[in-house]
Structure 1
């Protein structure tokens, strides 16, 4: 097996720490999770957490951005590969997959929100970390919806809709059928396009 370069080893360590942090934060919440537990779950020393992230709070904030970026990247790949007329159905499947298979997603999203409202002095830091994934989504919406001048507002609504439907599906699966997110996106984009066409 080829030996990893220093940069590759560092990236791998960060990835394993983020994955472990996601599991521990989802299970125990921010307050209940310790750096020791996260390091142990990843198979590293506490020093690895501090050298890569500076501490629990920075790790938590970085995890927020990383997970949001991952979801937007998934959405971009789905839209790039989808046949015409299939994009909304493909996006609906993403909601179902996240809700049904990524059992840490909904608790993590709730934990991120709770952390932000309980720590108003860090609200701007968290908001700043979310701007990159939102900007990525805004660019994607701008390419996907011709004439949508309000792509930034649409991306905010899409993120909130996605998170809300995942949470609702985890709580009451029957209330969020497989096609619901795609249908909601169609309604949203149809309304946005109609608004653009008005004099």
Structure 2
């Protein structure tokens, strides 16, 4: 075998990263096909081609893997939205069209819809997992709220509620519809989110009429900032 065709020897860090990725991919497959409770650490390690020791070198428990899958999904969504909103030269309709295109892909991953169910069920059964699960959701809600606030600012509109609250509503809609998804029916999450978003934008007051609520502000605080009618 020539040097050019010889397999590159992985560094220790690269080898560990590869092991971790295989364990995560295998765990996702087993969680979806067998359910969280039906996939043991031994099953995950064996299916990935590693020992249980290799699993514990990367994760302390199955819950760690489940949370990692959630974080990756949430971070991916936030990154995609930030990319859509990152072009300051976009015209409003072009920006909304790109949001439509992004929203059309929501919940199209059947595996993620199944994982959503497993995540919610396990959070309902485990208080320790629920606390970490909530932290990931809170972080994601804050990130999505920031994007929503940015969108309304670019459109010269005042959000009708705090961006974080709007983010929570859209996330609840998407998550709820994902939980109801069946293999024979397409998921309408993205389309409905854009219907509601366009409706909110169309009815929102122009900037200057009211103050924009910063991310994290409550709707009650927003109302207090509104000037009283003459």
Common fold by TM > 0.5: yes
Task: Give yes or no for the alignment of 1:150 onto 2:158.
Answer: no
- 1:4, CA displacement in angstroms? 4.1
- 1:141, CA displacement in angstroms? 2.2
1:97 to 105, 111, 123: 105
Which one scores higher on RCO, CA 8 angstroms, separation ≥ 6?
A: 1
Deviates more, 1:71-80 or 1:176-185: 176-185
Deviation digits for residues 98-157 of structure 1 (CA, Å, limit 9, x no counterpart): 433x22011111111111112234321211232332232222223222244712112212
Corresponding residue of 2:21: 15
**Quick one: distance in 1 between partners of 2:15 and 2:75?**
22
Corresponding residue of 2:52: 46
SS of equivalent residue, structure 1 residue 173: coil
In structure 1, runs of 5+ residues without a counterpart are none
In structure 2, runs of 5+ residues without a counterpart are 1-6, 211-225
- Over 3 Å counting, the alpha-carbon distance change for 1:192 and 1:158 in structure 2 is farther
Deviates more, 1:102-111 or 1:75-84: 75-84
Corresponding residue of 1:67: 73
User: Which structure features the higher share of helix residues?
Assistant: 1
Are the counterparts in 1 of residues 107 and 113 from structure 2 also a CA contact under 8 Å?
yes
1:139 to 120, 142, 146: 146
TM-score (norm 1): 0.78
- 1:74, CA displacement in angstroms? 2.3
